[in-house]
Structure 1
Amino acid sequence: MTMDRRTVLKHLGTAGVVGALAGCAGVQEQGEGTEASQSGDGSGDSTASGDADSTTESSGPAGTAKAWYSLPDTEIPLRKEALGMYNEASKHTIEGADISDLRKKTTSAIPANQGPKTFEWAHDFVGDYYQRGFIVDKSDSISVEMDQFTDAAQGAVQFDGATVGLPHSAETVALVYNTEMVDSAPSTVSEMKTVMEEYHDPQNGTYGLGYPFDPYFTSAWAQAFGGYIFDPEEDPQLGVNTDATAKGVKFALDNFAPYMPNDPTYGPQAAAFAEGNAPFAINGPWYLSTLNEKGVDYGVAKLPTPEGGEPNPFTGITMWYFSKAMSEDGPGTQAAMDFIEWYATNEDIALRNAKEQGAIPVLDSIATSDDLPENVQGFSEAVQQGVPMPTHPKMNAVWTPYGDALTKLFNGDMDVKPALDEAAKTIRSNWE
């Protein structure tokens, strides 16, 4: 099974904190998902997601389209409000459903022609799904201007000249700090270690840091000293076991792992900070809804600088994909396109998502707006530190072996270079 960062962050984002780990790589899988969260009733605050005039009505008959997404429980109500607002204002109807394992469901349903018209995920599906025919190019059907999105967002939704969806937000990991423990965010890892050492006391249930130790979350350090995990433009393309990458992985092991709970998975690491038992967390914007629910006083800043390097985390662009079902013209396809364009370009939705869920807007008009909450600005700065996750299909074979190696290293089962060499050997074997 592919271990991608959305599997961790979206399925575990809230559930891990409350101890109910959802199905994902390295965790017990759940079923195909639930269609119970149908969201076409138009309920909710009518000011939630923009006004009726912002819909993009088309000519022709009314259509109905299914839209799938996979969200933490805390984000579902706002999504239902947005869907309800669209359905109330439009002649079309969008039927939303939250899916517990979106990758599994889409890869089984779409080839059987039982998939949705559109689904929401980050851009790392783009290359694989396009080559497998799960998503389609709709360049000729898009009626909105692409240059209203940030350059990174525009690039993320394209592959081999095809436009396979529209973007609506960005994400990456940043430093989250408890403002009751820390006056201001440290600018260097050395400063951060001083604070972690002060608070780290596992015997009394406190730690210096809550930080999932997996390929996505640790990418900032693996790629901080000239290393890289995968780059289709490099020779070799695979970089998990280069000397520079090994240096970065060892840096993370030496400087962060000693101050973390002894379970490297998302749930325990996220809980340490969310329960007020750590001064720092390294996590993403999806985490803020959990912290808001818990009543944690926090701030967000870009990642601190390691001596001799620069943090270089993976970044992602969340988008609505044009599923294979949109290759067929008709009212349903038009309904899906109208909804996608409406959602992706609606400034009210983008600002509401930013303020309540920490989502980073990709509309140029508000990406650097003073209206953004301070914490979202912190994540926005962190996005500027990073590099977009590779969309090349070969990347799918990288996540799990590399993640297994990181787990072995965290547990002290192997030395850095042998573990990474073993992962690289497995990845190349899978490629063949």
Structure 2
Amino acid sequence: MHMSDAKKVLSALEDELGWQRELYKDLHRHPELSLQEFATAQLIEQKLASWGFAVQRIGGTGVVGVLENGAGACVLARADIDALPVTEATGLDYASTATGTDSDGSVVGVMHACGHDMHVTALLGAAKVFADQRDAWTGTYIALFQPAEETAAGARAMLDDGLLTKVPRPDVALAQHVMATEAGTIGTTAGPILSAGDSIKITVHGRGAHGSMPHNSVDPVVLAASIVLRLQTIVSRETMPGEFAVVTVGASNAGSKSNIIADRAVLLLNVRTYDTELRARVIASIERIVRGECAVSGSPKEPEFEYYDQYPLTSNDADVNARVTQAFTAHFPAGAVYHTAPATASEDFSRVPDAFGVPYAYWTVGSVPADVYRKAVAKGTVAADIPANHSPFFAPAIDPTLGAATRAQVVAAFAYLAKGE
């Protein structure tokens, strides 16, 4: 970005923060669950249309705005828009008191406990800057607001609804995520930044019997216990030192009474990896171990595997990451941009650029007041003292987080769209 254009564009960001702060508070007060983001989508549509974007609904509650501004690169910037089934406990004067009905019919508290309200507000701020400063850039800017990131359904829903044919093919895709790190900082890295994630429901079958006659049973509790123990060897004995994998058994359920041996057990697993080949190996090992334990236990039926909430690997293109990081370093205060280690969290953003066949960069934005974060770091109490994403106490500091997140979206896109790039 030429310095004169940079100064003009970045100075315009300050003018947007007033309405952005109020919008952020409004979004935070009114969160909506995955694929139920109706009011959020309508608000986004209205904003984009008023700024001259060509706006489409794609994937139900997904919204895409396209702003064409002459020849040049095409940049797609994405924000996720859904909230979580969490009852807020922050005590903020703009805290959510909303409730909603989740996928199993339960009434739950609803909260923006993962910062998606910040993502929406920042991308809308960037979109307005691009609309207002058209003389400073050339090309096409796509603002994509994706539903249902929290259930891994949103990106796929937009793709299934024809996203690839409804918007111009981008040259590059960009996304960011608010994290519980020092506010105003930007974390970047080449290669994996978020893990692939797979949830698996495994049902194993036994033969029920009275608790006083265990010899008549094939006990699914014992079978499940054997499986849980053996699964630990995938990481400890089948994964090479230096490779990263997580295999967590988050739930194990069988039976309901002390004197009845059940006829089945259900295990819920979560897998995280940074490598697609390793991911396939780990999943194959899980199935092999489960089938083997069922066989040696005399299980009367084959086990059943249900895969759900599957998230792809998020792995930044080295060239795109370098270009974006260079732009951040030039336009953020000294020390604000740092190299971040990969996180074991997962998300579905990469489905979109992968489907288009284009490279992407994904970065993190800190949200904890600097004095609070640095004190916790000094004491070694970050995990205990700093509420993380998905916590009912997660409360990003509006300033400077919102300004940094908006600046990051603008600076990253202008690295491709500024005149002369």
- Output the TM-score relative to the length of structure 2: 0.23
Larger fraction in strand = 2
Larger Rg: 2
